[in-house]
Structure 1
Amino acid sequence: MASLQDIRRRIDSTKKTSQITSAMQMVSSSKLAQIQKHTSGYLDYANHVEAIVAHLAFAHLLDKQNGDAIPFLTQRPIQTTAILVITSDRGLVGGYNNQVLKQTDLLMQEQKLTKDNTVIFAIGGKGADYYVKKGYTIAFEDRDVTDVPRFWEVSELVKEITKQYAAHKFDALELVFNHFVNRLQNQVLNQQVLPIRAENFKRDNNGNLLADKYKDQPISYEFEPAPESLLKAVLPQFAQSLLYGAILDAKTAEHAASANAMQAATDNARDLISRLELKYNRARQAAITTEITEITGGMAALQ
């Protein structure tokens, strides 16, 4: 049986752990509030870009373009698939990383992707290390992304992806990341970003495009310069906005997962402290009872 000193030592150690996890939970909550504020501003820009592309889609302008001239629209045979995997650099985020890696492995299994026809773009060390160990080609990785990433921080990765797609280095881009639903819930999403398809546009619960405010308007364009020049400028921005938006979304989910994991750890530590204190008090009472019994027995022997 553990001595009173051992139990006391465990109580003190657990209290220190509880203080650390509680502080980490507050830090993660603060980061979550910061990135939510930043993301709300960025979404205004992303929604405007999406509305422009959706408006062009309603005008059937995308259908009329030569896919060879505008590679982001090209529905070419898929020989090589790229996957952008967004994870964290560190642990202490609950099942955040495992969910993403499990979904990525499932995607590969469903599409029969192998080391020979798959390239990995990785944001976060956990995903990069996981697929390096499995022998996959890492085309680009970005570690130590800040808590509230700005576009210029990840622009090299985002632009490299769109550049390689335009150069036919791969034929489709899949994106796997944790979507922030609310403070207590994340959802793993898998979506094909490139080539740009109707599925890329956000829809409501009824399946209607969120840009449907244009659907009842007569759509007619006069272009200066040519439509091809406009699309060459707009479509890369749309693809990049999808990728950067996913990075912000995943980082938001990461902070929420970290806050929840630290809150759970703090609660568990407090429960353990309560049990240890109860055990300590019982052991102390037993020790006192033993001492009283010994004193009483000694007095009786002297009489």
Structure 2
Amino acid sequence: MANLKTIRKRIATVKSTQKITRAMKMVAAARLNRAQQRILSLRPYAVKTGEVLAEVTAPRGDGAETTEVEHPLLARRPEKNVLLIVITSDRGLCGAFNSNILRLAERTWRERERAGTGVKFAVIGRKGRDFLRRRNAPIFHVFDKVWDKLDLEQARTIARTVLKPFVRGEVDAIYLVYNEFKSAMAQRVVSEPLFPLKGPSSPAESKEERGGTEQPEYHREFLFEPDRGALLERLVPMYVEISILRALLESMASELGARMTAMDAATKNASDMIGRLTLDYNRARQAAITTELMEIIGGAEALRE
């Protein structure tokens, strides 16, 4: 059995670590509350932006004609080359947060390559950058210091960067790979398309979806000033920026939730370890006292003889 001094040092070390994990849990909980508020504040704006975009891009009937608008980000091409935007954290100590994302990203990469599709990565977060570099993955761009100041300007910078290869035709689709926030205890890894944007269905497609029994519905509620094409020039980039910002906020909240959960588990494990070490200490102390008593009794018996 370990001596008393060694056990005391181990107990002191575990208690010191427990203070750190408890403090990290409290900090993560406080930041998580703020992150949740930001998500709740952004959600109505993102939803309304999506509704307006859907209204602007919807086909419209003008007598016998159907008018639709075109935009480079609405163009659909066969997915010969794709760009994956992988959102990870800069720091660890957040459970399986990063490993789940990177596992999905790597699996998608390998599956796409086997299918003959080219894959490039745009990486947010040091954990993702280091992981993909170790595997010699084709990295298109690394976004540094995103988490230092997460705001719309950061999302706008990312949107402009990833937009260029799509508009030039170098990639045919762009996907966001990130952790979607459900609760502090639950996050869901998702891979959702960012480009091309989901455009309106054509009349033929709409009729087919309805079983060929109904004519497509056209929206007539709004008059646009300026015209829809001019609106799309600003509305589409805005929607993309909001989508990226939402994914970043979801990822940040998921990271904080995962860190809070991990640090809570670490704090509880530290308490259990302290309890076991304290029990070992008491047993060792009891054994030491028993040994001393036996030595004293043995010495006294020897003196009597």
Query: Normalized against structure 1, the TM-score is what?
Result: 0.86
Aligned partner of 1:47: which letter? V
Q: State the distance in 2 between where 1:114 and 1:251 align.
A: 32
Cα contact 1:115–1:135 (8 A) shared by 2: no
Partner of 1:222: 223
State whether residues 80 and 172 of structure 1, in contact with CA within 8 Å, keep that contact through their aligned partners in structure 2: yes
Q: 1:193 deviation in Å? A: 1.4
Instruction: Specify the alignment match of 2:145 in structure 1.
Output: 144
Quick check: which has more Rg, 1 or 2?
2
Matched, 1:64 2:68: yes
Paired residue for 1:90? 91
Secondary structure (helix, strand or coil) at the match of 1:188 reads strand
Structure 1: 5+ residue runs without aligned partners? 200-215
SS at match of 1:190: strand
Deviation at 1:296, TM superposition (A): 1.0
Quick one: distance in 1 between partners of 2:32 and 2:245? 17
Gaps of 5+ in 2: 201-216
CA distance in 2, matches of 1:137, 1:241: 27
**Percent identity at matched positions?**
33
State the match for 2:162 in structure 1. 161
Conserved? CA contact 2:95–2:259, under 8 Å: yes
Q: What's the CA shift for 1:77?
A: 2.2
Matched, 1:51 2:55: no
Deviation at 1:232, TM superposition (A): 2.1
* Aligned-residue offset at 1:60: 5.5
> How many angstroms does 1:220 deviate by?
4.1
Is residue 84–residue 175 contact of structure 1 (8 Å, CA) maintained in 2? yes
Shift of 1:76: 1.2
Q: Per-residue CA shift, 1:102-155, capped at 9, x if unaligned?
A: 111222233336998221111101111111222223222223333661111342
Measured after TM superposition, the shift of residue 65 of structure 1 is 2.7
Distance across 1 between alignment mates of 2:156 and 2:234: 16
Output one character per residue of 1:2-48: Cα deviation in whole Å (capped at 9) or x when no partner. Answer: 11100000000110000011111111111111111222222222122
Alignment CA distance shift 1:236-1:113 (3 Å)? farther
Aligned to 2:41: 41
1:51 CA drift (Å): 1.4
Alignment RMSD: 2.5
Mapped partners of 2:269, 2:199: distance in 1: 47
Give the Cα separation in 1 of the matches to 2:35 and 2:130.
26
Structure 1 Cα separation of the partners of residues 155 and 226 of structure 2: 31
For 1:83-122, what aligned pairs fall within 5 Å after superposition? 83-112=84-113, 117-122=118-123
Residue pair 2:80, 2:117 contacting (<8 A) in 1 also? no
- Counterpart CA distance in 2 for 1:93 and 1:144 is 18
Equivalent-residue separation in structure 2 for 1:113 and 1:64 (angstroms)? 37
Counterpart check, 1:245 vs 2:246 = yes
Compute the TM-score of the two structures, normalised by the length of structure 2: 0.86
Aligned equivalents of 1:115, 1:145: Cα separation in 2 = 32
Instruction: Report what 2:74 is aligned to.
Output: 73
Preserved CA contact (<8 Å) 1:178 1:188? yes
CA distance in 2, matches of 1:170, 1:90: 30
Say how many residue pairs are matched: 285
Corresponding residue for residue 171 of structure 1: 172
Alpha-carbon spacing, 1:301–1:114, altered in 2? closer, same or farther (3 Å): farther
Deviations 1:145-173 (A, max 9, x none): 33661111342122211233222231100
| Residues 114/273 of structure 1: CA separation in 2 closer, same or farther (3 Å cut) | farther
